[in-house]
Structure 1
Amino acid sequence: MRAARHPAVTASHRTFSLLDRILVPIHREGWRFAGLFAIATLLLWWLWSPLGWVGLVATLWCIYFFRDPPRVTPIRAGLVIAPADGVVQAIEPAVPPAELGMPALPLIRISVFMNVFDVHVNRMPVDGTVLSLGYRPGKFFNASLDKASEFNERQSVRLRSADGHEFAVVQIAGLVARRIRCDIETNQAVRAGERFGLIRFGSRVDVYLPEGIAPLVVVGQRSVAGETVFADLQSAEPMRRGEMR
């Protein structure tokens, strides 16, 4: 028979659980921006107090933007994990970025659009090795547009999983994004769910699946970086369909 929890213990557990959700770690790059926002807020408050309140809200939003919550990543071999928080905006065949040197053959591309309220820390989709990195300057169209993948500034990563499959992960700058950060190097070993970069502020991440692999997400679905399963290399399930309910 299961022993009942002491009320004080239960209450304490709930308190810590709530605090864990509120006191989310902040990405180290965020503190610099939060400091700048805070200084600007003090100046605005000195000029005119109503402007100070606006600055305070902006500072709190800046801290919120750079949050970096821990994630629980499924670790079974063959799973492809979401690299970004946001909405699955498109699933369609496309040729990977030319700068990665992959064959010029269309692969299934899953695009995740991140708005300014989503977590912007990006995570690796699979265990494997970084084969190559490619950066290409470009424009800053709205990341939700189809032409963003082709024309916007981007940072591309070519990966090879332990079982020999190759993937491409592409960080794409958006309309207000002006900085892509990629913290990995060529030949580096990486793990699924591991943090590898950040885009600020509002952007998109594309994942190119190996040939013949069907996605297990649908357009319109919410994606959680490091947790949502995008595909299963060991599954023969066909491409899924979804509907709003």
Structure 2
Amino acid sequence: MNRKARILGIALEGWPFILAFLALTALLWCLAGLWWSLPMLLLSLFSLQFFRDPQRPLPEALAGGVLCPADGRVIAIEQVEDPYLQRPAIKISIFMNVFDVHVNRTPVAGLVRGVWYFPGRFFNAALAKASLENERNALWLQSEFGQDVTVVQVAGLVARRILCYLRQGDVAELGGRLGFIRFGSRVDTYLPLGSQLRVSLGDKVRSGAQWLAVLPETQA
């Protein structure tokens, strides 16, 4: 089952940060006055925007459609070897800066066949080497059409925590909340060869709200 915890449009993971910063803001205001409390107030506001978790309706139905799993900018589209399933694949990388929504969403409905976590480095997530050298969590999804899709959450320069809500054997729903990455990162999606892309290099995309591609055996 997908975890869907959110309170007042904010991801549950963000509330400890928000409440801590608000408490420090109030304490500094009482002890030292408004000006000394402003840095903590700004951190509170930043946390509110960073951990926002908007409810998004799915786009118009599309047979074999693959949803965008993350907000951000498409920084790579290339044919590569999927390092997790050992197959030729099309990799689409989406970079999330600190102002993007960091909730990740399930790109296809289907069975979670595998989940792998890899400790690693914390290079800038926009660099190509981040895909294989940074801390990351890979998720193998098998769609209702029997197609394999690999989604990889990659930590970034300041991202120090990857959260994945799905486990092997779970049944994932289309557009469900897959996980969360704190503070700047990227998501790589490996698709079967022949998939029809619906995004281009440099596009700004929104998770769960637009199609990333169409799986090959379902194209009209």
Query: TM-score, with normalisation over the residues of structure 2?
Result: 0.90
Question: What corresponds to 1:84 in structure 2?
Answer: 70
**How many Å separate the matches in 1 of 2:157 and 2:33?**
31
> Residue 73 of structure 1: which of 50, 58, 63 is its match?
58
2:22 corresponds to which of 35, 38, 48: 38
**Native 8 Å contact 1:97 1:156 kept in 2:** no
C-alpha deviation, 1:95, in angstroms: 2.3
Match of 1:145 in 2: 127
Instruction: Give the match's secondary structure for 1:35.
Output: helix
Partners in 1 of 2:103 and 2:70 — Cα distance?
A: 7
User: Based on CA coordinates, which of the two structures has the bigger radius of gyration?
Assistant: 1
Which protein has the bigger helix share? 1
Deviation of 1:139 (Å): 0.3
Provide the rounded CA distance (Å) in 2 between the counterparts of 1:140 and 1:44.
33
Work out the CA distance in 2 between the residues paired with 1:39 and 1:94: 48
Cα distance in 1 for residues equivalent to 2:99 and 2:36? 22
2:201 aligned counterpart, secondary structure: coil
Structure 1 unpaired stretches of 5+: 1-22, 237-245
Q: How many residues are matched?
A: 210
**Distance in 2 separating the partners of 1:225 and 1:168:** 16
- 1:187 aligns to what? 169
Secondary structure at 1:129's aligned position in 2? Answer: strand
Partner SS for 2:131 = helix
Amino acid at match of 1:97: P
Q: Which moved more, 1:132-141 or 1:186-195?
A: 186-195
User: Which residue of the partner structure matches residue 4 of structure 2?
Assistant: none
* 2-structure distance, mates of 1:235, 1:106: 19
1:94 Cα deviation after fit: 2.2
Which residue of 40, 44, 62 maps to 1:59?
A: 44
Task: Calculate the TM-score normalised by the size of structure 1.
Answer: 0.81
Give the whole-Å Cα distance in 2 for the aligned partners of 1:79 and 1:105. 21
Q: Which runs of 5+ in 2 are unaligned?
A: 1-6
User: 1:24 touches 1:69 (CA, 8 Å); kept in 2?
Assistant: no
Equivalent of residue 96 in structure 1, options 79, 82, 93? 82
Q: Offset of 1:227 from its aligned partner?
A: 1.3
CA distance in 2, matches of 1:112, 1:204: 5
SS at match of 1:130: strand
The percent identity for this pair of structures is 48
Q: 1:138 to 1:220 in 2, by over 3 A?
A: same
- The aligned amino acid for 1:164 is G
Question: 1:166-245 alignment to 2 at 5 Å?
Answer: 166-233=148-215, 234-235=218-219
How big is each residue's C-alpha offset from its partner over 1:119-152, in whole Å with a ceiling of 9 and x where there is no partner? 0000000111100000000000010111110100
Partner Cα separation in structure 1 for residue 8 and residue 100 of structure 2:
13
Paired position in structure 2 for 1:27: 11
Indicate how the Cα distance of structure 1 residues 35 and 97 shifts in structure 2: closer, same or farther if over 3 A, else same. Answer: farther
- What corresponds to 2:3 in structure 1? none
Match of 1:52, SS?
A: helix
How far did 1:49 drift? 3.5
Judge conservation of contact 2:104–2:179 (CA < 8 Å) in 1. yes
CA distance in 2, matches of 1:32, 1:181: 15
What is the alpha-carbon distance in structure 1 between the residues aligned to residue 74 and residue 140 of structure 2? 21
